[in-house]
Structure 1
Amino acid sequence: MPGTPAHVAHPVRVPVTTAPRAALPVLVAVQVGDHPAEGFSRITFAFRGPTPSYRVGYVPQVVTEGRGDPVELPGTAYLSVRFSPAQAHDARGGRTADVPPAAVGYPTLLGWAAAGDFEGHLSFGLGLRSPDGGRVPVRLGEFTRPDGAHVVAVNVRRG
């Protein structure tokens, strides 16, 4: 008969199990510092668990994750810093790091703000001032703290 499934003499049963969910990297600290002797200002993002993937780039305006609302930042140039997968909350929805917006007032790094913690994407915006109106050179780095936290550093050239 057309369209009739073939008869299986010995059906095979395959148990369906879900793979264990890998833990998302969890943000535990954001810190800023100015290093005049080295010629840069730095903002670091420390994570418990694996180091998340990240993307850093200049944008005309930083917007929030999910909604797309503008994020208020000082300066004339803006960097978007986005981690994925990552989160800044625990299983009950409580914050895992203190991330209030901060005006820091360094020569080129003027401030930063959280831009979202939404569906495994965690983002921030940096407000910069460029002495010549262009883009400030940025250097990225990673390291592991003695307590095991994985850190992503964004270094912004001063002046």
Structure 2
Amino acid sequence: MRRIVRILLVVLLAAAGVTLASPAQAAPYCGIRWGSLTKTASAMSSAPITGIRTGRHACYDRLVIDVAGPAGGYTVGYVRQVSAEGSGFSIALRGGAFLQIVVHNPAYNVDTGQGTYTPANPKQLTNVTWYRTFRQVAWGGSFEGYTTIGLGVRARLPFRVFTLAGPGSGSRIVVDVAHRW
């Protein structure tokens, strides 16, 4: 009986000009086709990090790392636990999944050793209380030209990483995490 009802429904919808897409044909959420596997770029840069900020968008939450010069590479991927730079100690994070963000830029001036980004609260770099996907952004330290940031998210979701030039002679490393698949 259910099969007959289903066939009748499809025939009626077709007569009305409505087509049903199979799950394989359905459009991805907001057109997002990023995936959740680790993303990397190998470049190194001695240009220091100067800030970290976040933003909410219709389809994803965004983390931006500001750099005073050319952006280096990065390794961003889901891990069981985020490890602090240099010590390897685990960083406690809220969320159902954890992204370890390692950028190939220091958070200090390489000539003087003076810090260029020193968070007021290493356990909460920005307030992400009302974000759909982000749960916590925490500092993992900077050591030998590498800087680690822990990002707790709601679940293992698709993400992308890219760099942007500017403003001025600076650049930005951007991590977007989708709100859903």
- Scaled by the length of structure 1, the TM-score of the pair is 0.75
Letter in 1 for 2:82: V
Residue 115 of structure 1, CA deviation: 0.7
1:117 aligns with 2:139: no
Pairing of 1:1-159 with structure 2 (within 5 A): 24-36=46-58, 39-84=59-104, 86-90=105-109, 91-99=111-119, 100=121, 101-102=123-124, 103-105=127-129, 106-130=131-155, 135-159=156-180
Letter in 2 for 1:96: T
Cα distance in 1 for partners of 2:168, 2:152 equals 30
Residue 98 of structure 1, CA deviation: 4.3
Q: What count of residue pairs does the alignment treat as equivalent? A: 131
The C-alpha deviation readout for 1:49-90, integer Å capped at 9, x for no partner, is 221011100000001112111112111100011012x21113
Is there any run of 5+ residues in structure 1 with no aligned partner, and where?
1-21
Residue 148 of structure 1, CA deviation: 2.2
Greater helix content: 2
Cα distance in 1 for partners of 2:136, 2:79 equals 15
Cα distance in 2 for partners of 1:54, 1:150 equals 14
- Scaled by the length of structure 2, the TM-score of the pair is 0.66
When residues 23 and 126 of structure 1 are mapped into structure 2, their CA distance, relative to the original with a 3 A threshold, is closer
Cα distance in 1 for partners of 2:148, 2:84 equals 8
Cα distance in 2 for partners of 1:42, 1:125 equals 14
Residue 19 (structure 1) aligns with: none
Letter in 1 for 2:172: V
When residues 45 and 141 of structure 1 are mapped into structure 2, their CA distance, relative to the original with a 3 A threshold, is same
8 A Cα contact 1:30 1:98, kept in partner:
no
Greater strand content: 1
Q: Percent identity?
A: 31
Cα distance in 1 for partners of 2:98, 2:90 equals 12
When residues 56 and 25 of structure 1 are mapped into structure 2, their CA distance, relative to the original with a 3 A threshold, is same
* Structure 1, 100-109 or 45-54: larger mean CA deviation: 100-109
Partner SS, residue 52 of structure 1: coil
